[in-house]
Amino acid sequence: MGGMIGTMRRDRMLRAGGRRTYSDQWPVAKDVFPINLAYDYSMGIGIWNGNLIVGSRSSSYRKIRLYDGLTSSVISTTDPTRTYDDMTVLGDVLYCVSSSSTWAYNLPDFSTAAGFGRPTPYIKLICNDGENLWLYDQAGGGSQNLFKITPSGTILETKSIGYLGLSAIAHDGENLITTVGGVTRIHDGEDIDTVVHQWSRFHSMGSPVSAAIDFASGDLLHQVGSRDNYHIVQYDGVAKV
């Protein structure tokens, strides 16, 4: 399909004197831009050394692309045989969750890395805190859980979170960041019951379906929208508030 981003990042940043403000509430969304997926539906996003990773699927095909920064230039791709629900980057490894396992790829060439089996059959979201992985279990009918897991698959902690119904999750190295519908909450550390800041989406493009933290800049990226209308919302300096 067409180029992922309508204009290069440098062109966007030159508009309006270097930064545009889309919201009068903190955090400021410093950029919003469309992405044209290879296929119709999202399999999540990630960030590796400032480079955006986007997964997509159709009923028969799947593709993951590693882009040059936030531009439309593709560095490398892979065509996985499995469908993933979400993804995250820890170090130089991309972790993807499916209904059966957590699969892993070395970056930037997407060679196979060591993954691990799922702790429950209902894992839907994944993020990382810079050291360990966090998996969200939507628990078909039961209480939902967050699992803190080492990259080798050892469960360090299990948090029962009731029936929140998360649509996106991130971790900035200190605080969990969760989204339910159109409301995003920064928690006090990893205490899911304590919120230090929250905000509602300011646009009509739909609720976030995946999230990623750029640990170098502190920016939070949300993938929002649905089939044929996905965008990236880039929030300025959210990490480690």
Contact, 127 vs 169, CB < 8 A?
yes
Q: Structure tokens of 207?
A: 């609720």
The DSSP secondary structure of 31-99, one letter per residue, reads EEEEE--SSSEEEEEEEETTEEEEEEE-SS-EEEEEESTTSS-EEEEE--SS--SEEEEETTEEEEE-S
Residues of the chain with pLDDT under 50: 1-24, 241
Longest dimension (CA), the chain: 50
pLDDT at 240: 62
| Residues β-bridged to residue 235 | 29, 220
Starting at the earlier edge strand, list the strands of the sheet with 176-180. 168-171, 176-180, 183-188, 191-200
pLDDT at 178: 96
CA angle 193, 195, 199 (to 5 degrees): 130
Q: Structure tokens of 21?
A: 């403000």
Contact, 175 vs 187, CB < 8 A?
yes
> For residues 19 and 37, what is the distance between their CA atoms, to the nearest angstrom?
26
pLDDT at 237: 78
Condensed to tens digits (0 to 9), the pLDDT of residues 155-192 reads: 999 999 988 899 999 999 999 999 998 899 999 999 99
Q: In percent, how much of the chain has pLDDT > 70?
A: 87
> For residues 3 and 117, what is the distance between their CA atoms, to the nearest angstrom?
35
Predicted model pTM: 0.87
